[in-house]
């Protein structure tokens, strides 16, 4: 893994306080020519509560599972958990011909009349199925939660369900698939983020193909797991302002005047570049100087097979006369601007959900101006998408409705790189809202296969 660090400004005016943005990049190696995909142990946690019977959401859930079953092989295992009023599980099935046929029967024969939505029970049952790790460490373990997120039994809050996930071994990832236009995006995005996973909104079969193809492809072509970044900074030289992504973070640690912030970057697949952006405040100094090692980043993870790896990078900052200050790095400045736009979407959504549409619109419009002033294809596309949303911020705005969900979807996608936004967002930015690559050749082949299957089904 190649670890890089770079600031948007490497020279700043020594005489005043400055804000600089750090990009930490993790660059995984290319997909080997003799690549053999990982085996997988997937536990599908499936919602069969009464609310899943609305519209065609349960049909979409069944379609998702059929796609999953079709694309697994005899080297993979599948556990199925149903939840509604409580939870139940099937035996773990090896995905050979016999196991696939049994899994299809289990999915096709299910219905969704099981009253309430007890997500907590489903996650606890998944933890039981996963059990202690007693198998080949090259096997990818993942929970896929398929639901509308309408938790109304057992523990129902994001905080409570995140605590429930503590019963699941930390090495196990989780991604969510949300069904129905009224799905609980706040809950599902929060749960997936807590395990550095993805949150996908499945409104129709077109969205299913791309989302699930990418999810499965990324899982099976994993290069590194349990990827952890520790960023150190001396309080004499600067201070953390904020992380611009929404990767899970631990409590700040350190000793003396050194602060260490830990970030869980989750899995990294072959060919993937995964970026973390950190905003830092640097105090004014009495004279020019060079701050050596303004930031020191150490990264650790495990390759498949359990072999540990480590990387390190640091960055210096030059405090100079005002006349020597140059222009920001264009690429980092563009990426930071889009991340700021994503954060603006979250803030505007919170205001709009409280009925403060005008204040939300003002936030949106100010950010749109900034994006258009930067005037690149990426920022202009993002501005175009935000302008469409801004036009809907009026008295017709409904908290939890499609505008609300689209704002949340695209913001979460942008800040975490993983997951698909709503229909409107996909149309506006062609799902290119992630800052960094997320598809290698293997993943793309699975996405293409899923989409070809959809085209054949339609014809």
pLDDT tens-digit series, residues 195-220: 878 888 776 666 666 777 778 888 88
pLDDT of residue 438 exceeding 70? no
**pLDDT (0 to 100) of residue 277:** 94
Alpha helices in 317-356 (DSSP H): 330-353
Angle at 416 between CA 41 and CA 126, to 5 degrees: 30
- Alpha-carbon span 403 to 27, nearest angstrom: 35
Q: What is the mean pLDDT of residues 233-243?
A: 93
Per the prediction, the chain carries an average pLDDT of 85
Using the 8-state DSSP alphabet, how is residue 14 labeled? Answer: T
Length of the chain: 459
Q: In what order do the strands lie in the sheet with 2-7?
A: 2-7, 18-27, 273-282, 239-243
pLDDT of residue 4 exceeding 90? yes
Phi, psi of 298 (to 5 degrees): -120, 135
196 vs 371, which has greater pLDDT? 371
- Alpha-carbon span 199 to 191, nearest angstrom: 9
- Which sign, positive or negative, has the C-alpha torsion 102, 108, 110, 116? positive
**pLDDT (0 to 100) of residue 64:** 82
Residue 381, C-beta contacts closer than 8 angstroms, at least 6 positions apart: 428, 429, 430, 432
pLDDT of residue 290 exceeding 80? yes
pLDDT of residue 19 exceeding 90? yes
How many other C-beta atoms can be found within 10 angstroms of the C-beta atom of residue 36?
A: 9
Residue 76 — very low, low, confident or very high, per pLDDT cuts 50/70/90?
very high
pLDDT of residue 94 exceeding 90? yes
CA 128 to chain centre: 25
Tens-place pLDDT, residues 322-359: 999 999 999 999 999 999 999 998 899 889 889 998 99
- The region of weakest confidence among 28-37, 213-222, 295-304 is 213-222
Q: What is the mean pLDDT of residues 145-168?
A: 89
- CB 12 within 8 Å of CB 282: yes
Selected from 2.60.40.10, 3.40.50.10800, 2.60.40.740, 2.60.120.10, the CATH number assigned to the domain covering 2-33+224-324 reads 2.60.40.740
- Which sign, positive or negative, has the C-alpha torsion 354, 357, 358, 364? positive
Map tokens 């697949």 to a residue.
269
Domain ranges in the chain?
Answer: 2-33+224-324, 40-220, 330-429
- Alpha-carbon span 252 to 38, nearest angstrom: 34
Percent of the chain residues topping a pLDDT of 70 = 89
The three-state secondary structure class of 26 is strand
Selected from 1.10.3720.10, 3.40.50.410, 3.40.1160.10, 1.10.1130.10, the CATH number assigned to the domain covering 40-220 reads 3.40.50.410
- Alpha-carbon span 112 to 312, nearest angstrom: 50
């Amino acid at each position: 893994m190649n670890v890089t660090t770079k600031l948007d400004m490497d020279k700043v005016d020594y005489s005043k306080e400055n804000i600089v943005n750090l990009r930490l990049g993790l660059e995984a190696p290319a997909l080997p020519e003799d690549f053999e995909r990982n085996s997988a142990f997937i536990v599908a946690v499936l919602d069969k509560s009464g609310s899943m019977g609305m519209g065609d959401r349960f049909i979409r859930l069944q379609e998702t599972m059929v796609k999953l079953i079709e694309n697994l092989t005899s080297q993979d295992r599948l556990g199925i958990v149903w939840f509604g009023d409580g939870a139940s599980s099937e035996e773990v099935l090896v995905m050979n011909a016999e196991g696939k046929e049994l899994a299809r029967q289990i999915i096709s024969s299910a219905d969704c009349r099981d009253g309430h939505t007890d997500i907590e029970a489903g996650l606890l049952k998944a933890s039981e199925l996963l059990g202690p790790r007693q198998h080949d460490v090259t096997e990818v373990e993942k929970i896929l939660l398929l639901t509308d997120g309408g938790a109304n039994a057992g523990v129902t809050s994001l905080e409570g369900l995140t605590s429930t996930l503590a019963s699941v071994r930390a090495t196990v990832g989780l991604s969510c698939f949300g069904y129905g236009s009224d799905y609980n995006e706040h809950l599902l995005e929060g749960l997936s983020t807590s395990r550095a996973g993805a949150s996908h909104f499945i409104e129709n079969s077109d969205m299913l193909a791309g989302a699930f193809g990418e999810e499965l492809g990324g899982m099976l072509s994993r290069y590194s797991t349990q990827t952890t970044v520790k960023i150190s900074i001396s309080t004499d030289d600067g201070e953390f302002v904020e992380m611009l992504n929404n990767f899970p973070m631990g409590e700040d640690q350190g000793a003396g005047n050194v602060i260490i912030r830990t970030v869980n970057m989750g899995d990294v697949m072959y060919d993937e570049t995964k970026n973390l952006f950190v905003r830092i405040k640097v105090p004014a100094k009495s004279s020019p100087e060079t701050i050596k090692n303004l930031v020191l980043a150490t990264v650790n993870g495990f390759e498949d097979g359990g072999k540990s790896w480590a990387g390190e990078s640091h960055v210096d900052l030059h405090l100079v006369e005002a006349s020597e200050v140059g222009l920001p790095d264009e690429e980092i400045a563009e990426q930071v601007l889009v991340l700021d736009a994503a954060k603006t979407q979250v803030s505007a959504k919170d205001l709009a959900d409280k009925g403060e549409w005008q204040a939300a619109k003002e936030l949106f419009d100010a950010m749109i101006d900034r994006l258009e002033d930067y005037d690149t294809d990426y920022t202009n596309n993002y501005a175009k998408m935000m302008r469409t949303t801004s036009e809907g911020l009026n008295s017709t705005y409904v908290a939890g409705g499609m505008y609300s969900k689209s704002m949340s979807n695209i913001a979460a996608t942008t800040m975490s790189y993983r997951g698909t936004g709503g229909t409107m967002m996909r149309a506006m930015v062609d799902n290119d809202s992630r800052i960094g690559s997320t598809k290698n050749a293997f993943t793309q082949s699975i996405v293409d296969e899923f989409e070809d299957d959809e085209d054949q089904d339609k014809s």
